[in-house]
Amino acid sequence: MISKARITAIGSYVPDLIVTNSDLEKMVDTNDEWILRRTGIKERRFAAETEYTSDVSIKAIENLVERYQKDIRDVDMIIVCTLSPDYQTPSVASYIQGRLGLKQAGAIDINAACAGFTYGLHLANGLITAELHKKILVVGAETLSKITDFTDRTTCILFGDGAGAVLVEYDERGSFLSSHVVSEGEKAISLYGTYLSDKMFGTELQNKRQLVQNGREVYKWAVTTVPNGMKTVVEKANFSLQDVDWFIPHSANLRMIESICVKSQFSIEKTLTSLVHFGNTSAASIPLALDNGIKDGRVKEGDHLLLYGFGGGLSQSGQLVRWG
């Protein structure tokens, strides 16, 4: 099916509070050199005590509207991609719809963790190309600091808060060229956040209602599977990786991304991330990196972008998109 959807605007937001590696030294047994060497992260942003995922989402949408002078009153669907919602119900998307007064909009949340934003784009493209909707807001947003286990020195150094939002509209010259979505649920125990059940595949979980990650296993899974997924996405569009102008992966860990680039033989110099100053923001990391690239002029109209998310599920999703 030929896409009839195009990304027409983007906005982003990160909270004001900057938490450096030196700040974390006062909270957990770690140090700046250890964090930087293993992750590439220098600092991250934490939401205020009363600032939640809906709040950072709305600020990213407001940033989009202000920069592109878009009228969103006729938006007919809101898709929020997050694993850190304000409530179990209502969805963040529904809450945003109410707060912004978007009377004609449907609203759903997607929880595909760090692959969430690319899953959201996949769904938006399908809904618009099928002519079921015409104007969709897709938001990747997290306030992970509120569900981070700050007694776990190997994971608490990673996470930050923020949001990115894009407007996807009907356009005969669609910009979505190909996609790839997959999940390996049998490996889900490597990265989870508990809620009602305290068992998974018969194994007792650490029921802390916080993120629990086996970093070694997730690293091995991503480095092994993502390069093949990247190849699958581009080949579906009769492209090669050499035709891609910018690779924008989930900003999990700089060492992981470097390994993925080596295995896929893709240049790290043509890779955009958001982790150095924002940390791992899960579903928000790709739109934050994309928006940074647009703001500093690296991403230009007509560029071919390979967006690739991977994480909890264990799920992954890639989109090949022509920008502009």
Residues serving a catalytic function are 114, 250, 280
Which residues are paired to 306 by β-bridges? Answer: 247, 320
Contact of 286 with 164, CB cutoff 8 Å: yes
Specify the DSSP element, H or E, that contains 119: helix 116-129
Q: Which residue has the tokens 């972008």?
A: 305
DSSP code, position 33: H
Specify the pairing of strand 203-204 against strand 199-200.
antiparallel
Torsion of CA 33, 213, 82, 56, to 10 degrees: -30
Instruction: Give the Cβ contact number of residue 45 at 10 Å.
Output: 21
The answer to whether the peptide bond before residue 90 is cis (omega within 30 degrees of 0) is: yes
Q: At residue 160, what are phi and psi to the nearest 5 degrees?
A: -145, 180
Cβ partners under 8 Å of residue 69, min gap 6: none
Which residues are paired to 11 by β-bridges? Answer: 165
